[in-house]
């Protein structure tokens, strides 16, 4: 049509270059459109942020304006005082009366009284220094206070059911899993010293002991103190002893 031979090498190269140029132009155009879209979106986002920032600044500035308005001086109506009429003062000369001078005899302070007056402040200082400071009152969370509080409720335990024991008969309750040194002292303050007593716990005893020693609810059952104590008791004393 245009006198070009499509099978000619120069024509083929020219066509290829034209196609590549067209593809590059289309790619550039698409990239430009995408970039413009992103720029527009970013500009809109920036505008929203600036608007939100302006709103925040206005909100912060509003209380200060209200405070300044509240602190504005109150205008008061001046009160005009009525004129004061001064009455004429009549000078009257008062008669001068001479009072005879009284002679006060001088009294000598005895030396003992003066010494006592000087020694009084010194004795007060000595007394203040010698007064002992009051003994510190133990805080409510100290160990002694906790143990005394537990011991005061020992009568709530049914020792007729679990048995009685003394400190001389005490087993090492720390062998029970879940019992530490402080918890063992709590049990001792309650009157529980032996594996035999713990092995005889019923559900009622477990609930009462758990409450009094201020232990985690359900921990005695989860650690299985009763079965552990029975095993330790049988190991130490033999099965012939009735737990």
Last residue of a domain, one of 39, 65, 91: 65
Quick one: how far is CA 108 from the chain centroid?
68
- Is residue 175 a part of any domain in this protein? yes
- Is residue 135 a part of any domain in this protein? no
- Is residue 90 a part of any domain in this protein? no
- Is residue 115 a part of any domain in this protein? no
Last residue of a domain, one of 19, 47, 65: 65
pLDDT of residue 204 exceeding 80: yes
Whole-number pLDDT of residue 73 = 54
- Is residue 104 a part of any domain in this protein? no
pLDDT digits 0-9 by tens, 222-239? 999 999 999 999 998 886
- Is residue 79 a part of any domain in this protein? no
Q: What is the pTM of this model?
A: 0.42
Q: Which residue would you say has higher pLDDT here, 153 or 109? A: 153
Q: Tell me how many domains the chain contains.
A: 2
Of 160, 213, 221, 219, the C-alpha closest to 189 is 213
- Is residue 174 a part of any domain in this protein? yes
Containing domain of residue 33, as a range? Answer: 1-65
- Is residue 191 a part of any domain in this protein? yes
pLDDT of residue 102 exceeding 60: no
Q: Comparing 60-74, 155-169, 211-225, which segment has the lowest mean pLDDT?
A: 60-74
pLDDT digits 0-9 by tens, 137-195? 344 458 899 999 999 999 999 999 999 999 999 999 999 999 999 999 999 999 999 99
Q: How far apart are the first and last CA of the chain?
A: 119
**Under a CB-based contact definition with an 8 Å cutoff, are residues 156 and 210 in contact?**
no
Structure tokens of 23? 């593809």
Last residue of a domain, one of 14, 40, 65: 65
Q: Which residue would you say has higher pLDDT here, 206 or 78? A: 206
């Amino acid at each position: 049509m245009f006198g070009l031979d499509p099978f000619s090498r120069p024509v083929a190269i020219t066509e290829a270059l034209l196609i590549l140029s067209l593809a590059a132009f289309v790619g550039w155009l698409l990239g430009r459109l995408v970039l413009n879209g992103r720029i527009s979106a970013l500009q809109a986002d920036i505008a929203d942020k600036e608007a939100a920032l302006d709103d925040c600044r206005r909100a912060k500035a509003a209380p200060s304006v209200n405070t300044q308005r509240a602190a504005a001086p109150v205008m008061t109506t001046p009160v005009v005082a009525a004129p004061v009429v001064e009455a004429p003062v009549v000078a009257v000369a008062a008669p001068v009366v001479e009072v005879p001078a009284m002679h006060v005899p001088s009294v000598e302070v005895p030396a003992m009284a003066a010494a006592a007056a000087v020694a009084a402040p010194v004795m007060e200082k000595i007394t203040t220094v010698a007064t002992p400071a009051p003994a510190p009152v133990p805080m409510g969370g100290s160990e002694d206070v906790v143990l005394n509080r537990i011991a005061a409720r020992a009568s709530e335990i049914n020792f007729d059911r679990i048995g009685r024991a003394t400190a001389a008969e005490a087993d090492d309750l720390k062998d029970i899993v879940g019992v530490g040194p402080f918890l063992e002292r709590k049990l001792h303050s309650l009157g529980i010293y032996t594996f035999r007593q713990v092995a005889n716990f019923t559900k009622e005893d477990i609930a009462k002991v758990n409450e009094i020693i201020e232990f985690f609810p359900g921990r005695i059952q989860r650690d299985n103190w009763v079965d552990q104590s029975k095993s330790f008791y049988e190991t130490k004393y033999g099965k012939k002893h009735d737990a």
